[in-house]
């Protein structure tokens, strides 16, 4: 099976949709912090539990959206490895000899065996690098 990079339109659509999801998360956090009748400690604990679940799942969705892409060392393979580890590795980063990955040169610097618990900043950094790498592939294929 041959793979080809996604179109720039598909990349832009993903960028727009993900930005909307991140904004919805930030709006939720803002609303929750202003909520009355609940202690800030309980709100903070609920948000702390929700944030990694939300952003880990958003990474899995991002990776799946571009599943047919060719992987190259860097953010594309990092996202692939993290998503596979979230789906099949119990949330611990599992090395895969078929997926090139070097923690020291990765965006998030997560080592094999470490728990994957992305926060908003982590996801935004990896997502930006991932989409930029896809754009580079698309430009090279054009």
Mark 26-38 as b/e (b = at least 16 C-beta within 10 Å). Answer: eeeeeebeeeeee
The pLDDT of 102-114, averaged and rounded, is 96
For residue 113, give both structure tokens: 């065996």
- 28 pLDDT more than 80: yes
Q: Whole-prediction pTM value?
A: 0.86
pLDDT band at 77 (very low <50, low <70, confident <90, very high): very high
Computed over every residue of the chain, the mean pLDDT equals: 89
Look at residues 95, 117, 115, 128 and name the one whose alpha carbon lies nearest to residue 22: 128
Q: Measured between alpha carbons, how far is residue 76 from residues 12, 47, 48, 59 in Å?
A: 16, 28, 27, 11
**Residue of higher predicted confidence among 6 and 20:** 20
Structural tokens at position 71: 């992987």
């Amino acid at each position: 099976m041959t793979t080809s990079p996604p179109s720039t339109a598909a990349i832009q659509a993903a960028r727009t949709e993900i930005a909307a999801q991140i904004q919805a998360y930030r709006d939720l956090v803002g609303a929750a912090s202003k909520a009355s009748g609940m202690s800030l400690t309980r709100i903070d604990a609920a948000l702390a539990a929700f944030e990694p679940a939300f952003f880990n799942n958003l990474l899995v969705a991002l990776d799946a959206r571009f599943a047919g892409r060719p992987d190259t060392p860097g953010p594309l393979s990092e996202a692939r490895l993290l998503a596979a580890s979230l789906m099949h590795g119990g949330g611990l980063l599992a090395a895969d000899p078929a997926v090139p990955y070097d923690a020291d040169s990765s965006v998030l610097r997560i080592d094999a065996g470490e728990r994957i618990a992305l926060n908003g900043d982590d996801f935004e950094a990896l997502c930006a690098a991932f989409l930029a790498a896809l754009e580079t592939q698309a430009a090279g294929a054009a």
